[in-house]
């Protein structure tokens, strides 16, 4: 047998297996207000260099999740993932994403939630990769959601492919100026604003461009990212894609445009988008 | 003032059909459970790449299916499979998933795709996005991803029944593969419904342990990996989790056990596979 020397191990944080099978239930605060911190793991037993996030069974349509490292026992939370945003049909479930984010042992791993509804719930689980750094040579420390509107709403920036099928629409600005350099990023896509219980009238596909640059001078950094929605599932899949290792300088404007396979319905051809930037 | 990093990756879409706003439409083989013909996603590949994203869109009918991705000659032919039998089970027309695999390949080849389904002549849209440029974020690109537990004669994977006690791990381990043919430097776990679902009765969640070792000597390498499904989508909503960089030696027996929120004898049952990357 060949044993590879660079072995990582996985640490499960937050999985509930007694009396249920889910992530740890995290509850939002008042509508569009962050809830209190909930512990996923305390203490974190060893350094980790990558974090897999799994979210299940949201009870609200629009959600924003924070993950933090706090003191043992809680308190003094330092956010490592802020505003992981998604919007989809209630109870449609199962988000998985791997972040090359690291952290130290000894503290607690904590989560909190904001949604459009008061006291909504979401299952949150993390899987921490620890051990050999051979596969994550440069763990990052922070993921931040850009374009997530949190005051009075919990939504992204609305993207309209426009009225011509299979033709790119106008750019929608995700953020006017990033406050930090981004080393890698993810695209998040979710249900368009104003719809709570989606019923897609047709099967939709989108091809999405992500660009940086001033208005009118956008440069596409990743073109034609495929997303889809349909009349059976009634939510956009996949809700997140990445990481894309195209660094974005601090101070950059990020914008998104899309084309759609169906444009006849002026509501459902649209979607909301955000960018999760890692540094 | 801006800070510009030198280690920029570049991305090339392969197979995006901009005239139809979808991926390249491929047809599975006929009769069912046979591979279809190879289709080209990009030819030639303009630069060496070191990671690949695989994206799908709406399938044409409820079916179990698998996808192969290969490097072929320019113009096609001599396909060398780099992603073998990535499996899914989905309800018409629910589709759409993405996965990033740390696989590399050379410039100058064609990138090709084919599929098979449990029913004949199904279609599915496929797109890849190739990552080139700086390798600082992917220092060791791999070459092949292969699926353990896939049965090409039925387009199914290993049946995993959590058993009749809710939220309780099944008593015995279920073998995915008796002996891996190669070392896997990282791997992902995939799961789908065993049945061709039409109406799931409720939201259902599973937690799966993955172990290596002989029967009776299983050692857990990942525990409580969660999957979920619900009555609107009627499928496992995110059918893959990983890749996890926990190497599995060649010659290993891989097995799993699961627990489930549901005791429904039909819908609690999963098909499960391990995709090993080397």
Domains of chain A: 8-141 (2.60.120), 156-278 (2.60.120)
B180 shares its domain with B123: no
State the pLDDT at residue B2: 40
State the pLDDT at residue B3: 41
The answer to whether residue B150 sits within a structural domain is no
Looking up tokens 């930090």 gives A180
State the pLDDT at residue A4: 47
Distances (CA, A) of A253 to A32, A174, A181, A189: 26, 8, 12, 18
Reference B45, options B126, B112, B107; nearest CA is B107
B118 shares its domain with B161: no
B87 shares its domain with B40: yes
State the pLDDT at residue B4: 42
Domain with B239 in it: 157-277
B202 shares its domain with B241: yes
The C-alpha atoms of residue A213 and residue A147 are separated, in whole angstroms, by 16
Query: Exposed, middle or buried by CB within 10 Å (0-12, 13-18, 19+), for B91?
Result: buried
Query: Exposed, middle or buried by CB within 10 Å (0-12, 13-18, 19+), for B247?
Result: buried
User: Using a CB-CB distance cutoff of 8 angstroms, which residues of chain A are in contact with residue B139?
Assistant: 137
The C-alpha atoms of residue B176 and residue B254 are separated, in whole angstroms, by 5
The answer to whether residue B143 sits within a structural domain is no
Using the predicted structure, report yes or no on whether residue B182 has a pLDDT greater than 90.
yes
B129 shares its domain with B188: no
Q: What is the mean pLDDT of residues B254-265?
A: 96
From A264's Cα to the closest Cα of chain B, the distance in A is: 15
How does DSSP classify residue A226? E
The answer to whether residue B144 sits within a structural domain is no
Looking up tokens 């991705």 gives B69
B161 shares its domain with B264: yes
H-helix or E-strand spanning residue A68: strand A62-70
- Say how many domains are in chain B: 2
pLDDT in tens, B95-132: 678 899 999 999 999 999 999 999 898 999 999 999 99
Pairing type for strands B63-72 and B110-117 reads: antiparallel
The C-alpha atoms of residue A93 and residue B160 are separated, in whole angstroms, by 21
Confidence band of B232 (pLDDT split at 50, 70, 90): confident
Instruction: Report yes or no for ipTM above 0.90.
Output: yes
- Considering only the beta carbons, identify the residue of A7, A94, A138 that sits closest to B237: A94
CATH number for position B223: 2.60.120
B192 shares its domain with B228: yes
Contact A93 B229 (CB under 8 A): yes
- Considering only the beta carbons, identify the residue of A165, A226, A231 that sits closest to B57: A226
Looking up tokens 């719930």 gives A121
The answer to whether residue B4 sits within a structural domain is no
B129 shares its domain with B15: yes
H-helix or E-strand spanning residue B146: strand B145-148
Q: What is the mean pLDDT of residues A14-36?
A: 97
The C-alpha atoms of residue A69 and residue A141 are separated, in whole angstroms, by 11
The answer to whether residue B147 sits within a structural domain is no
Distances (CA, A) of A193 to A149, A190, A272, B96: 11, 9, 7, 21
State the pLDDT at residue B95: 65
The answer to whether residue B106 sits within a structural domain is yes
pLDDT in tens, B138-167: 667 899 999 999 999 999 999 999 999 999
Q: Tokens in use for B157?
A: 């994977």
**Cα angle for residues B180, B195, B156 (degrees, 5° grid):** 25
Using the predicted structure, report yes or no on whether residue B19 has a pLDDT greater than 80.
yes
Using the predicted structure, report yes or no on whether residue A1 has a pLDDT greater than 50.
no
The answer to whether residue B26 sits within a structural domain is yes
Cis peptide before B31 (omega within 30 of 0): yes
B171 shares its domain with B125: no
Residue of B173 and B246 predicted with greater confidence: B173
The C-alpha atoms of residue B33 and residue B66 are separated, in whole angstroms, by 9
Reference B244, options B192, B214, B193, B208; nearest CA is B208
The rounded Cα B247 to chain-centroid distance in angstroms is 18
B123 shares its domain with B14: yes
User: Using a CB-CB distance cutoff of 8 angstroms, which residues of chain B are in contact with residue A18?
Assistant: 167
The C-alpha atoms of residue A229 and residue A140 are separated, in whole angstroms, by 32
């Amino acid at each position: 047998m060949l044993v590879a020397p660079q072995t990582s191990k996985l640490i499960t944080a937050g999985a509930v297996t007694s009396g249920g099978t889910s992530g740890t239930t995290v509850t939002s605060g008042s509508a569009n207000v962050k809830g209190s911190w909930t512990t996923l793991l305390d203490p974190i037993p060893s350094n980790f260099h990558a974090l897999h996030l799994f979210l299940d069974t949201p009870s609200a349509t629009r959600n924003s999740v924070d993950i933090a490292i706090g003191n043992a026992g809680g308190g003094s939370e330092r956010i490592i993932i802020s505003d992981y945003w998604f919007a989809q049909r209630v109870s449609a479930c199962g988000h998985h994403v791997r972040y090359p984010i690291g952290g130290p042992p000894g503290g607690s791993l904590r989560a909190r939630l904001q949604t459009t509804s008061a006291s909504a719930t979401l299952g949150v689980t993390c899987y921490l990769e620890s051990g050999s750094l051979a596969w994550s040579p440069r763990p990052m420390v922070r993921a931040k959601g850009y374009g997530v509107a949190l005051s009075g709403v919990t939504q992204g920036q609305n993207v309209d492919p426009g009225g011509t099928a299979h033709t790119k629409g106008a750019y929608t600005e995700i953020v006017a100026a990033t406050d930090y350099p981004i080393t890698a990023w993810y695209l998040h896509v979710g249900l368009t604003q104003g719809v709570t219980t989606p019923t897609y009238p047709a099967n939709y596909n989108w091809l999405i461009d992500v660009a940086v640059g001033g208005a009118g001078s956008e440069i596409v950094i990743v073109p034609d990212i495929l997303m889809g929605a349909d009349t059976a599932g009634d939510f956009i899949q996949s809700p997140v894609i990445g990481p894309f290792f195209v660094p974005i300088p601090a101070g950059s404007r990020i914008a998104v445009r899309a084309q759609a396979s169906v444009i006849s319905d002026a509501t459902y051809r649209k979607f909301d988008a955000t960018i999760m930037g890692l540094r | 003032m801006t800070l510009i990093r030198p280690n920029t990756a570049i991305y090339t879409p392969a197979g995006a059909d901009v005239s139809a706003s979808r991926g390249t439409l491929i047809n599975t083989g006929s009769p069912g459970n046979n591979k279809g013909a190879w289709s080209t996603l990009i030819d030639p590949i303009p630069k060496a790449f070191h990671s690949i994203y695989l994206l799908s869109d709406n399938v044409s009918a409820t079916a179990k299916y698998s996808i192969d991705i290969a490097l072929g000659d320019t113009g096609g032919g001599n396909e060398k499979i780099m992603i073998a039998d990535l499996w899914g089970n989905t309800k018409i027309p629910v589709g759409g998933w993405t996965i990033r695999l740390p696989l590399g390949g050379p410039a100058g080849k064609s990138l090709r795709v084919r599929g098979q389904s449990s029913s004949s002549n199904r279609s599915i849209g496929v797109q890849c996005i190739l990552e080139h440029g700086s390798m600082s974020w992917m220092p060791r690109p791999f070459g092949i991803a292969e699926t353990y537990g896939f049965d090409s004669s039925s387009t199914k994977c290993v049946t995993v029944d959590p058993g009749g006690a809710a939220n309780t791990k099944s008593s015995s381990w279920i073998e995915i593969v008796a002996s891996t043919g190669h070392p896997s430097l990282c791997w992902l776990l995939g799961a789908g419904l065993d049945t061709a679902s039409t109406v799931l009765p409720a939201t259902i969640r599973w937690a799966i342990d993955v172990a290596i070792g002989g029967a009776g000597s299983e050692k857990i390498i990942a525990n409580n990996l969660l999957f979920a499904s619900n009555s609107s989508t009627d499928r496992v909503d995110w059918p893959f989790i990983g890749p996890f960089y926990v190497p599995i030696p060649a010659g290993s027996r891989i097995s799993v056990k699961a627990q489930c929120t549901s005791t429904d004898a039909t819908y609690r049952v999963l098909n499960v596979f391990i995709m090993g990357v080397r």
